[in-house]
C-alpha cells in the first residue's frame, strides 16, 4: 500500500524523510513499524534515526488513533479563557488523560499548542470541525454528536 507513496520521492534523499512520514501517517493515522522500516531502507537512514525523527515531532504518533480525534487548543489565548477546565472536563467525561484513546476506540484526546484560531478561544477541534467559544457545559453535547456519528475509516481497513 505505502509503496505507492515512495514513487513520488527520490531514493536516498534524506530531506524527504519528514514528508514521507507525513504521507504515511495520513494513510494509516499513525506510523506502523513496518512502514518505518521501509522508509529507513528507502531514504538510506538508519532505523534508529527515523525513530528519532518520528518521536521528536509532535505530529507523529506510533500508536493508532481512535475514531474521533479531539484536539484541545492550549494556546495562550485559550489558556486565558480557561481551556484548562475544558481539558479537565473532557478528561473526566471520557475517562482518559490527554494523549490517550478510550477503550472502545471512539475518542482520542490530544493537546495542541495553538491552532491559530485565537480569536474564538477557547477552541477544540474534533476531527476537522472547529468548536469555538465553548464552555464546560457544552462538552457533553459535543461528545454526543460524535458518539452517534457514523464510523470514520478505520486504520485496519486501509491496511
Partner 1 sequence: MKDFNQLCCEKCWHTTDKPCEHFIQCCTEGPLCHHDEKCEHEITSLRKRLKYEEHDHPIIMIGMGTCGLASGAAKVKEAIEAELKKLNIEATIEGTGCIGFCAVEPIVDIKFPGKDRISYQEITVKDVPRLIKTTLVDKEVYKEKVLGSHGKSNGVISLKQVPFFEHQQKIVLANCGIVNPVSIDAYLAHGGFKAFDKVLRLMKPEEVVKEILESGLRGRGGGGFPTGKKWELAAKQKSDQKYLICNADEGDPGAFMDRSLLESDPYRVIEGMMIAAYAIGATAAYIYCRAEYPLAIERLQNSIAKCEEYGILGDNILNSGFSLHIKIKKGAGAFVCGEETALIGSIEGKRGMPKPRPPYPVASGLFGKPTVINNVETYANVPPIIMMGAQQFAKIGTAKSKGTKVFALSGNIKNTGLVEVPMGVTLRDVVFKIGGGIPEKKEFKAVQIGGPSGGCLPESVIDTPVDYESLKEVGAMMGSGGFVVMDEETCMVDVAKYFLTFIQEESCGKCVPCREGTKRMLEIIERIPKRYGSDGSKLDQLQRFKGMIHLQRLADVIRDTSLCGLGQSAPNPVLSGLRYFRHEYEEHLYDRKCSSGVCKELLTFSINNEVCSGCGLCVKKCSVEAIVGEKGQAHYILDNKCIKCGMCYEICRLDAININ
Residues that bind partner 1 (CB under 8 A): 13-19, 21-22, 43, 45, 52-53, 56-60, 74-81, 85, 88-89, 92, 112-121, 123, 130, 132, 135-137
Nearer to partner 1, 83 or 101 (CB): 83
Alpha-carbon distances, residue 57 vs 15, 51, 54, 139 (angstroms): 15, 10, 6, 29
Nearer to partner 1, 2 or 74 (CB): 74
Q: Cβ of residue 70: shortest distance to partner 1, in angstroms? A: 15
Contact between 119 and 144 under an 8 Å Cβ cutoff? The reply is no
Q: Cβ of residue 8: shortest distance to partner 1, in angstroms? A: 13
Nearer to partner 1, 21 or 109 (CB): 21
Q: Cβ of residue 157: shortest distance to partner 1, in angstroms? A: 23
Q: Cβ of residue 99: shortest distance to partner 1, in angstroms? A: 12
Nearer to partner 1, 34 or 76 (CB): 76
Contact between 134 and 94 under an 8 Å Cβ cutoff? The reply is no
- CA-CA distance, 144 to 132, in Å (whole number)? 17
- CA-CA distance, 132 to 67, in Å (whole number)? 21
Q: In sequence order, what are the residues at sequence separation of 6 or more whose Cβ sits closer than 8 angstroms to the Cβ of residue 56?
A: none
Amino acid at each position: 500500500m505505502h509503496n505507492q507513496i515512495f514513487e513520488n520521492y527520490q531514493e536516498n534523499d534524506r530531506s524527504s524523510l519528514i514528508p514521507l512520514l507525513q504521507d504515511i501517517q495520513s494513510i494509516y493515522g499513525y506510523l506502523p513499524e513496518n512502514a518505518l522500516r521501509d522508509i529507513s531502507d528507502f531514504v538510506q537512514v538508519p532505523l534508529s534515526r527515523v525513530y528519532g525523527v518520528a518521536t521528536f515531532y509532535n505530529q507523529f504518533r506510533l500508536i493508532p488513533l481512535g475514531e474521533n480525534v479531539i484536539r484541545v487548543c492550549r494556546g495562550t489565548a485559550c489558556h486565558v479563557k480557561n481551556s484548562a477546565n475544558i481539558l479537565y472536563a473532557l478528561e473526566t467525561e471520557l475517562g482518559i488523560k490527554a494523549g490517550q484513546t478510550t477503550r472502545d476506540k471512539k475518542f482520542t484526546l490530544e493537546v495542541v499548542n495553538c491552532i491559530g484560531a485565537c480569536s474564538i478561544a477557547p477552541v477544540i477541534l474534533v476531527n476537522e470541525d472547529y468548536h469555538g467559544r465553548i464552555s464546560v457545559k457544552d462538552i457533553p453535547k459535543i461528545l454526543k454528536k460524535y458518539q452517534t456519528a457514523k464510523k470514520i475509516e478505520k486504520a485496519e481497513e486501509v491496511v
